[in-house]
Each structure stands twice: as structure tokens, then as C-alpha cells.
Amino acid sequence: MQKDKPFSQACENNKAPILEKLTELFKQPGTILEIGTGTGQHAVHFASHLPHLVWQPSDHPQNAQLARAWIDDSELGNIYSPIALNVLEGNWSGLPAIDGVFSANTAHIMAWQEVEAMFHGVSRILPVNGLFCLYGPFSYGSRHTSESNSRFDLSLRTQAPHMGIRDMEDLVALGAETGLALEDDFEMPANNRLLVWRKS
């Protein structure tokens, strides 16, 4: 029976362009950890189109089961059950061996301390040469790339001061500190980017 499933229109809009990039980036068979999976729409879309990959969804304990309905309904054999993963906590134990990491629209929701923890954790679990792909809106030299991103940033900071669009300079510096070298910065629709770091 069809269950009520959480739905994000943004995921429907961005899943095809993101898939196009992930298809180029994750060519080899392997297991991909998704951080902050949300509804599960991305997980199902990417796993169904990239059958050489195994997808490991995860999210903050508060949201870890949100993706369950999409994943169960998909009946795909290459998605593991979603796991609870708060990037701030512990040593991310209980994960299978990970070959790559993907995360969408998380860096502006997390506090900067969580973004730092995410980079440290990703670097710990990635093998040398493994990729970390981070999708979302970003600013450059503290300048937003569009009026709408500027408004979005203001609305985030008004809702909660710890949230906000992250600046590339800070992320590149954080990557360098944690052994992740920025390799690509793809322009994506709707003023978003797909940033790709390689574990050195």
C-alpha cells in the first residue's frame, strides 16, 4: 500500500542535475554515505540510476527515519536502511566501509561547529582519493551569487543565528585543515553549486 511520504519540491527540481554530476563523479562501484538525507527522494533517485553504487542514507537522530517511506517503497536492493548520524557526535561508528560522501543543503542549516565536525568526520572515513560532494548555495568572498541567495541567507539568520549560507573561502580553508582538497566547483541551476573535495 502507498504510504504518505514526506515530499520536497526542491529535491524534485534538483535531483536530475545533481544526478548528472554524480554519474560523472562516482563511476566506480562503491558505497556512498549521504549526510542529512532528509526525505529520501535524493537517495532513491540516485540509487535507482546508479546501480553500481550502494547508498547509505543517514540523518540527524531527529530525522533519521524520515527517509524510510521513500526507501521502503522503492524496493531497491542498493540502499541500506537509513542510520542516525549527528555529525557532531562520536566517531561515526556503525557505518559500512565508505568510498564517497554526498550531502545536499546541509551546510547552511548546520551551525559552523557542525560543518567543521562534518568535514573532520568525512575526512576520517574517506579513503585516500575518495570524494566528498557538497551541494547547496554558497557565497564567495562574503558576496552572494544572487539576490535570492542573499534573501535566503537573511531569512536563515533571522530564524536562527547559527544558520546561514557558508562562504567558499571558509570551506576551502576547512578542507585544507582536514585533508580535503577542493577539486571542482560546478555551477548548478537556481544559484546552487556542487562542490567536490578529494581526500588527499
Ligand X SMILES: C[S@@+](CC[C@H](N)C(=O)[O-])C[C@H]1O[C@@H](n2cnc3c(N)ncnc32)[C@H](O)[C@@H]1O
Closest approach, Cβ 188 to ligand X, in A, equals: 12
Task: Show Cβ contacts of residue 165 under 8 Å, excluding neighbours closer than 6 positions.
Answer: 108, 136, 137, 138, 139, 144, 149, 152, 153, 156
Q: Which of 164, 163, 188 is nearest to 17 (CA)?
A: 188
- Closest residue to ligand X, Cβ-based? 38
Among 18-26, 44-52, 58-66, 151-159, which window interacts with ligand X (CB under 6 A)?
Answer: 58-66
How would DSSP label each residue in 87-117?
TTSTT-TTPPP-SEEEEES-TTTS-HHHHHH
59 binds ligand X (CB under 6 A): yes
Separate counts of helices (H) and strands (E) for the chain: 6, 9
Residue 24 burial (10 A CB sphere; 0-12, 13-18, 19+): exposed
Classify the phi-psi angles of 3: left when phi > 0, otherwise alpha if psi is within -120 to 50, otherwise beta: beta
- Binding ligand X (rule: CB under 6 A), the pick from 63, 65, 74, 191 is 63
Q: Which of residues 79-98 bind ligand X (CB under 6 A)?
A: 85-88
106 binds ligand X (CB under 6 A): yes
60 binds ligand X (CB under 6 A): yes
Q: In this complex, which beta carbon is closest to ligand X, that of residue 33 or of residue 104?
A: 104
104 binds ligand X (CB under 6 A): yes
- Binding ligand X (rule: CB under 6 A), the pick from 18, 32, 38, 139 is 38
**CA-based torsion, 111, 112, 118, 124: positive or negative:** negative
Closest approach, Cβ 114 to ligand X, in A, equals: 4
Closest approach, Cβ 1 to ligand X, in A, equals: 25
Q: Which of 95, 81, 103 is nearest to 127 (CA)?
A: 95
* Contact string 135-174 vs ligand X (x = CB under 6 A): ----------------------------------------
Q: Which residues would be at the binding site for ligand X (CB under 6 A)? A: 8, 10-11, 35-38, 59-60, 63, 85-88, 104-106, 109-110, 114
